Structure 1
């Protein structure tokens, strides 16, 4: 007996923030949409859980800001090399409200919003295989049967198993992230600042090639994690879970931390360093398309934005193979190539020990780091005309021209 065949106008593969947002947007357009995920919600996902103002703004644009808790943060506090700098979120296009919410709750809330908007949600139902006819996806094999889609939006995360079936390739010669995350009880859970430590040392006092973060969640816990930037030529030679434990001990007394709980780790493609992200009737979005800022690992904002971008193209074009990578490059290309190039410096072991004391001490740090926080928070828009924005865009054009052959949503 063959599998049952079902027709849907739009199939969204992956029910993380980008996939749920795409299903929500498609359902609001009146499309017959199904959202697939191999997991059953609520489920956990390795993440820092922090939302910059850009992410909060994207939720507001989708009309689902109410999914967030009351907790808000005011910006970043960066520490290391004998100094600390406070960098409030700038008063700009995206507003000054950051937030944080555990992904187990956040993703579940967005899936609920998609279902409420009219999308069918099939949990515990992975997309396991694909059928093509003349270059178009004509069948998606699932345990529930074969789905016959008109359009497909792929949002299955950093590893993108379904994207791999479509030819998606991750270029690890470019900067990528490795990270570990935990949750710790803390009486400072309501602290209205995200904290990042850029000087991490092991038990012998040796500087490690990574950074740590503490993101208060406003619920009695903080998200505590550590990460490092790596390339295939200069792999970060650290055990992230061991480094996380050492980092927790370093800040335990200051934050009155409980034991690290629910420790997970992940690798993260960044800055558009993937190829084959679209075909005749399909597009990759969010983490699957490496839409992650190389300077901070943030991807939720880009995931929500690319979800809306992709849905807006449904029914307007006959073939996305070239137009979708072009749209991603137009929206994020110059900024991502520049951020990748800047992040690459951090993979050199001697860079941070030289630059850190200058950046985090005295008047230089006080002037420099608020601007850096604006860049790290993805908070510059094309409409901004101030010196920092103009300098960032000019540098982006220059670096993009110099690195013309770098992988950036390439078509192979």
Structure 2
């Protein structure tokens, strides 16, 4: 299959019409393109960037994401990457090493820089038969009644339209095309602000992800968030800090100085030999805190649909999952996604996202963090439960006490939500 892009113009011009147009070639969009191409559809994958390109991210892959990579057919790609066995949690003078719970999901996680991961999944989609267009930004749509007839793209200042039967929008947290289609982000529920950097380390092959639940600023003040250290192998670590906020309690966190302070705090433990490089930050809608996620023949997936875990900021797993679910819906012959897609997202994530963002809102109160975190870090059993909940590693098949309790909390939370996820 020809790979056509601004960076690679050796092939024929991109088709002016396609069956499935995927806007955004991050993990969600590229996975959707791969699934759709394998299902026999004519697929065009579009991105405003020229690859490889970087993305602000912690680079961590939870067992949920590793499992979904295998489902996509890219399990072998992770075979030579770090095998992360669990989380090494720190705070208030205590620490716990908590292995991943296993079960339906993989026993290990991983970590891959997004500069590499996104390009690899994009190449996988092209190999599956998707047509790639890079350096083209989706800026508008043309309507045919209640259907999107075409997406208007801009390349080097020139606009043209690409007609499509179905449009999958995977253009990230800001979702420019989503806004054109009516997507609205509601900041009354918890959202995240995060910064990350890369550093050199003699411990880049460590099998544990570092996580500090007691995050403090350079002035010693307790912040409503956490710090992370993700081993990438090859002598590199991803070091980052994230904070939670709501419209009522915005995060007053200076990310860059906090990130530098946190790096210095873990420098000796992780044998870090240089200063933070490639510092970047992002604002993260979480927990389905958007409305307008679908229309007659279009739907938003991944970060564009705020499919980000409010308790750990993880979004790669949900990007891969929603890609698969979207293409399954298309393959089922569903003619109108307007209600079916938000219903499906709610079915899969509604309870967990509602409960998680409610708990995350509590954690935006700095005084609540030590009250909840200090006793937890002194109990291995309790922290094992916390890791299951934070990583959304509880499935419908799980029938233990923790799983039943979490689902009950989710049902109660949804009942009192003024704005349920995806609505």
- Settle same-fold status: TM greater than 0.5: yes
CA distance in 2: counterparts of 1:356 and 1:70, whole angstroms: 31
How far apart are 1:60 and its partner, in Å?
A: 0.7
The one of 382, 385, 388 aligned to 1:374: 388
- 2:161 equivalent to 1:146: yes
TM-score of the two chains, using structure 1 as the length reference? 0.96
The one of 303, 306, 317 aligned to 2:322: 306
Aligned to 2:368: 351
Aligned to 2:240: 225
The one of 266, 291, 299 aligned to 1:251: 266
Q: Provide structure 2 residue ranges, at least 5 long, that are not aligned to the other structure.
A: 1-13
TM-score of the two chains, using structure 2 as the length reference? 0.93
Displaced runs of 4+ in structure 1, greater than 3 A? Answer: none
Aligned to 2:289: 273
CA distance in 2: counterparts of 1:298 and 1:96, whole angstroms: 17
- 2:81 equivalent to 1:76: no
- 2:344 equivalent to 1:333: no
- Residue 321 of structure 1: SS of its match in structure 2? helix
The question of whether the paired residues in 2 share the 8 Å contact of 1:74 and 1:96 is answered with yes
The question of whether the paired residues in 2 share the 8 Å contact of 1:274 and 1:407 is answered with no
* 1:57-106 Cα distance to aligned partner (Å, 9 max, x none): 00111111122233210011110111111110013001212100000000
The one of 192, 199, 202 aligned to 1:177: 192
How far apart are 1:372 and its partner, in Å?
A: 0.7
Range with greater deviation from structure 2 (123-132 or 147-156): 123-132
Range with greater deviation from structure 2 (221-230 or 349-358): 349-358
How far apart are 1:5 and its partner, in Å?
A: 7.9
CA distance in 2: counterparts of 1:128 and 1:61, whole angstroms: 32
CA distance in 1: counterparts of 2:38 and 2:52, whole angstroms: 23
- 2:421 equivalent to 1:408: yes
CA distance in 2: counterparts of 1:117 and 1:198, whole angstroms: 41
The question of whether the paired residues in 2 share the 8 Å contact of 1:86 and 1:370 is answered with no
Range with greater deviation from structure 2 (138-147 or 70-79): 138-147
CA distance in 1: counterparts of 2:320 and 2:141, whole angstroms: 25
CA RMSD of aligned residues (A): 1.4
The question of whether the paired residues in 2 share the 8 Å contact of 1:82 and 1:360 is answered with no
CA distance in 2: counterparts of 1:406 and 1:167, whole angstroms: 17
Aligned to 1:384: 398
Aligned to 1:294: 310
CA distance in 2: counterparts of 1:385 and 1:206, whole angstroms: 40
* 1:21-60 Cα distance to aligned partner (Å, 9 max, x none): 0000000011010000000110000000000111000011
Aligned to 2:6: none
The question of whether the paired residues in 2 share the 8 Å contact of 1:76 and 1:195 is answered with yes
